[in-house]
């Protein structure tokens, strides 16, 4: 699997996918043993998850419950955004605290494509988007891009290449829309102005820049109109969108991604890259709130962020074969010392942990014990 962040203007550019995946049963066992290596006491560790609300995130939650012996606190909002206003309650509920943040993306092993997931509970085992929240956010940006890719064209006439651009796309004053980097598409005149050679009813025609001509040279034939299509690369445009950032969670995912949308929309696997970037942004944001959180002071805390890949299940399977890709971790000790681990170091720490967990619980036994417990009579006021 390629490193989708390579050569892209993403938050760090250093997110590695190849060789970093762990099946969730292995990851959760190693995570628990790593917590013990940090001095956390068995039976006194309260995990918390900042996952999307999607049902296919249930298997990771079950595995965390099994290995930590406690149902994870809910630290997440839809899309895998960390609810930072829940730090206090989480810290108050345990002696040793663990937070796992993970954006997620589906993977279809049949098509080998990211972003789709087989829903076993639908009538015909339908494939649908996952993460749906990420796809919902990307939809408007994709529509804007598709319009632009169909409404910018080039033509070679008598050896000269011209570019025609829809009037809407020429506007630089839009509050919401795709904003072209015109200097990289249009050749300027001697006054460094974008002077049209022809004004049409819904578009204008200009001399094309040398850069776009060079990029599309193989497709340019005398007298043939060619749409710019996927030659409208990330460096040729940006987006502008008015978003309310007053309330955490309302437009939070979109605010995390908007700066990187040209790279995401033009990527081979947009949903995968969007989930990756959201994980990177959320780790950095949540880390800065955790170092200031009063509730965690004097306690052991591990905050780990990564990416959940939901591999579509076969029809006889109950759950996806979810894999986890760690990104970074923040460790804070009860004595006040703290440090962060970058991806390579974090993976190495996890990989050296045992995959056997003698402290894991048997969920069926635990449920049976509750069934057999003496009934507690509740007295109403």
Residues 90 and 163 in one domain: no
In this structure, are 303 and 353 located in the same domain?
yes
* CA-closest candidate to residue 233, choices 283, 190, 189, 178: 178
Read off the pLDDT band of 3 (50, 70, 90). Answer: very low
Domain count within the chain: 2
pLDDT bracket for residue 13 (50, 70, 90): low
HSE at residue 108, side-chain half, CA atoms within 13 A, is 17
Please state, for a pLDDT cut of 70, what percent of the chain lies above it.
96
Which domain range does residue 177 map to?
141-240
Sorting pLDDT into bands at 50, 70 and 90, what band is 2?
A: very low
Q: Per-residue confidence at 249, pLDDT binned at 50, 70, 90?
A: low
pLDDT at position 12 over 90: no
Question: How many other CB atoms are there within 10 angstroms of residue 360's CB atom?
Answer: 17
Residues 358 and 279 placed together within one structural domain of the fold:
yes
Rounded to 5 degrees, φ, ψ at 58 are -65, -40
Same domain for 168 and 232: yes
Is the pLDDT score of 350 beyond 70?
yes
Mean pLDDT of 197-220: 96
**Stretch 334-359: mean pLDDT:** 96
Tell me the average pLDDT across 64-91: 95
Q: Cα-flanking dihedrals φ and ψ of residue 297, to 5°?
A: -65, 135
pLDDT tens, residue by residue, 250-300: 789 999 999 999 999 999 999 999 999 999 999 999 999 999 999 999 999
Q: Which residue shows structure tokens 């092993």?
A: 109
Do 195 and 148 lie in one domain? The reply is: yes
**152, 91: one domain:** no
Residue 339 in domain: yes
The verdict on residue 188 lying in a domain is: yes
- Average pLDDT for the chain: 92
């Amino acid at each position: 699997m390629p490193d989708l962040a390579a050569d892209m203007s993403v938050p760090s550019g250093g997110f590695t996918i190849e060789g970093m995946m762990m099946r969730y049963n292995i990851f959760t066992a190693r995570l628990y043993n790593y917590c013990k290596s940090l001095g956390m006491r068995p039976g006194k560790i309260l995990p918390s998850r900042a996952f999307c609300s999607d049902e296919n995130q249930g298997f990771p939650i079950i595995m965390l419950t099994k290995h930590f012996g406690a149902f994870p606190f809910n630290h997440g909002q839809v899309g895998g955004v960390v609810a930072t206003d829940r730090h206090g309650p989480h810290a108050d509920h345990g002696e040793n605290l663990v937070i796992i943040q993970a954006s997620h993306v589906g993977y279809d092993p049949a098509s080998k494509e990211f972003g789709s997931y087989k829903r076993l509970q639908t009538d015909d085992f339908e494939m649908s988007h996952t993460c749906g929240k990420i796809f919902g956010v990307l939809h408007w940006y994709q529509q804007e891009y598709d319009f632009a890719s169909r409404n910018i064209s080039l033509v070679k006439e008598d050896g000269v290449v011209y570019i025609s651009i829809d009037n809407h796309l020429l506007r630089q004053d839009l509050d919401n829309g795709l904003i072209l980097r015109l200097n990289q598409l249009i050749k300027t005149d001697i006054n460094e102005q974008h002077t049209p050679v022809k004004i049409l009813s819904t578009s204008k025609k200009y001399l094309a820049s040398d850069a776009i001509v060079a990029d599309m040279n193989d497709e340019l034939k005398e007298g043939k109109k060619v749409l710019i299509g996927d030659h409208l690369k990330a460096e040729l445009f940006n987006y502008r969108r008015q978003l309310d950032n007053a309330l955490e969670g309302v437009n939070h995912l979109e605010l995390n991604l908007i700066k990187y949308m040209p790279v995401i929309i033009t990527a081979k696997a947009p949903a995968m890259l969007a989930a990756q970037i959201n994980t990177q942004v959320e780790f950095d944001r949540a880390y800065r709130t955790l170092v200031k959180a009063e509730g965690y002071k004097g306690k052991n805390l591990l905050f780990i962020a990564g990416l959940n890949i939901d591999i579509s299940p076969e029809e006889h399977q109950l759950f996806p074969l979810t894999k986890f890709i760690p990104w970074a971790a923040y460790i804070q000790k009860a004595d006040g010392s703290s440090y962060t681990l970058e991806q390579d170091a974090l993976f190495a720490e996890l990989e050296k942990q045992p995959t056997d967990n003698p402290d894991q619980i048997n969920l069926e036994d635990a449920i049976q014990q509750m069934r057999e417990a003496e009934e507690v009579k509740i007295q109403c006021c």
